[in-house]
Chain A
Amino acid sequence: MGLDEKELRRALAARSGEPTGDFVSRLNETFRRGRPTSDWKPALAIACVLALSLASVGVLLKARSLSRSPHVGSPASAARSIQSRSPEATPSTAPTPIGPVPVTNVVISAPSAQVVWALVDGPTLYLSTDQGNTWQRRTVPVPPSGAGTDEISFVDVNQGWFALVTVPMTQCSQEPIQIWHTTDGALTWQLIVDGSAADAGGISFQECKGALSFADAQHGYLAAYDFNHHPTIYRTADGGQTWQGSTLPDPPGFTTQAGGFALTTGPVKAVGSDVLVAAYNDTPTGPSTYVFRSMNGGVTWTYLAIVDGTSSPSFVTQTRWVVLGFGSFPSHETTDSGRTWHVYQTDYSEAAPEAPQVTFADGEVGYATARGDLQRTLDGGLHWTSLTPPPATVS
């Protein structure tokens, strides 16, 4: 193909665009509101100290008022319980029909064939017990970061975790995280890991934090990565109180190096006796996606397969993984743990020119979401039905 400079300029211009006047106005309005603090961590630390001080006073007052009670509890547990908050709005208990309110970002956690949780756009968390047909409103413990990077993971209608992930430092060298836990269906929350300003619970303050996923009430995983090192997969065996990290090895033909030659990890999924995670590189060798497997609960990891395409695969079972197509890329499937891939016939229709996030609750029931669009399959990904995501206005 005889492409020339002019053609390259045209192609680059076609990808580009000018800022709108509305965007520039909004930006200038942001500037007029004042300069952001150079570092929000000291402010957060002060806020934490104040909160803990108030909590301590509260504990002492509570202890005094309950002086006849023989068991007051440890200061730490008392502080934690005081840090838990009631939801901002009383959750509705009756199923709520969902309406056509446009949303742009949905994070899904599907712990079982009937139960699905959705974190929609902002501080709104929804629970469905009928496969996403109707929703009940719940809330998260703190306002989400707004960066679209917060995570939820639930193991049933009651127990779940919320990870607040905020602004990373350059090249993902550092990133704060808080992990909150609920056991009553997101009515109240407890802060169990506060990595706002330093290492916490075994999770390093370094690295960007990725997907959070729990396999059961005790065992969970947190993916982390930066631009210069091997990714870390953290694991917990005590419901998220403490974490230990293991790094992913280099896949064949790829060597992790400083300067951006590093893998980025997707969500970890426990399927059967395996724990699987996909990782992606965007390097001179061209974009590639690899799958790694742990057969000892995340203690050690080995390279397992390369994915056909650059999207993250969804692990339906130990051996069957699917990659939903978008744009000009067809859907792909493997039924032998990535050894061979074939084009997969599905009626999934993309809502946006981007790869959907696909979450399977089991071998049949799964959800795909992209840019606020939500679709559901009941037959392992062959057929998909559009659902209206839960609206932010539901009361």
Chain B
Amino acid sequence: MKRLGAEQNSELVTRAKTGDGGAFGELLGPVLDPAFRVAMTMLRDRTAAEDAVQEASLKAWRKLGGFRPHAELRPWFLAIVANECRTLRRRQWWRVLRVGDPRAFEGEVSQTRALGDRLDLDAALDQLPRHHLLPLVLYYHLDLPIEEVARTLGCAEGAARQRVHRALEALRPKMQMEVGRGA
């Protein structure tokens, strides 16, 4: 993942604050991929994810005045995207409630047991409350260090670690997993 240097970042922030769209696009470019991954994982729909990321981008641009030039952009933007996903999902849940298509795995898995396990896990992820899903996505899918997970979630590192633990417990009570990486 391409990361901008602090100085370059700071300059782009300054230019974007003045309304320079090119600078804002350049600033956001490196974090669009993880942002989209968060949205896709939480919403499970490409169109909805695009809507969420676009809306979050515009909100981020509006809020850029309060962003410190040397601060980390990624956790700040991911927090906005995650909030946008929550809003989108909550709105009109009676109209849109998506689940994965179990048939998507049929070509990949030959053993019945493995397929069953995968379907169980996917079903469990579908049923997992979104405030549990987000820490898992940040930590296990985006591979963010726990301190960045904490900044995205807006909490202390210890609390972030606890939230990952609680999400795992909610996902599968007997799962043998430890939150050790990056801790």
Interface residues of A (CB under 8 A from B): 1-5, 7-19, 23-24, 27-28, 30-39, 104, 147-149, 167-168, 170-172, 208, 210-211, 225, 227, 260, 264, 266-267, 278, 280, 282-284, 286-287, 310-312, 326-329, 353-355, 357, 370
Contact A31 B21 (CB under 8 A): yes
Q: Is A12 a contact of B125 with CB atoms below 8 Å? A: yes
Q: Could you pull out 9 A-B pairs where Cβ atoms are within 8 angstroms?
A: A3-B172, A10-B118, A12-B140, A18-B37, A171-B87, A208-B91, A282-B93, A286-B129, A327-B102
A355 contacts across to B, CB distance below 8 A: 94-97
Asked whether A19 lies within 8 Å of B50 as measured between CB atoms, the reply is yes
Q: Please name all residues of chain A whose beta carbon is closer than 8 Å to the beta carbon of B65 when the two chains form the complex.
A: 38
Contacts of A23 in B (CB 8 A): 36, 50, 53
> Nearest Cβ distance between residue A163 and chain B, in whole angstroms?
12
Q: A27-B25, A286-B129 are in contact. Are A264 and B90 (CB under 8 A)?
A: yes
Given the contacts A282-B130, A354-B98, A34 and B21 also touching, CB distance less than 8 Å: yes
Are A172 and B141 in touch, CB under 8 angstroms? no
Partner of B93, one of A9, A104, A149, A312: A312
A257 to nearest B CB, angstroms? 12
Give the nearest-CB partner of A13 in chain B.
B141
Determine if B100 is an interface residue (Cβ-Cβ < 8 Å): yes
Tell yes or no: B165 within 8 A of A by CB.
no
Q: How far is the CA of A2 from the CA of B117 in the complex (A)?
A: 9
B114 to chain A, nearest CB (A): 10
**A353 and B25: CB pair below 8 A?**
no
Residues of A within 8 A of B121 (CB): 1, 3, 7-8, 11
B24 touches A18 (CB 8 A): no
A266 to B95, CA, bound (A): 9
Q: Is the CB of B70 closer than 8 A to any CB of chain A? A: no
- The complex places the Cα of A37 from the Cα of B63 at a distance, in Å, of 10
B92 within 8 A of A: yes
Neighbour of A353 across the interface among B28, B53, B83, B99, CB < 8 A? B99
Q: Is B21 a contact of A287 with CB atoms below 8 Å?
A: no
Instruction: Kindly provide the distance from the CB of A382 to the nearest chain B CB, expressed in whole angstroms.
Output: 22
Return chain A residues, CB-CB under 8 Å to B102: 327-328
Task: Check B151 for interface membership: any CB of A closer than 8 A.
Answer: no
The A-contacting residues of B in range 77-91, CB under 8 angstroms, are 83, 86-87, 89-91
Is the beta-carbon distance between B53 and A19 smaller than 8 angstroms? yes
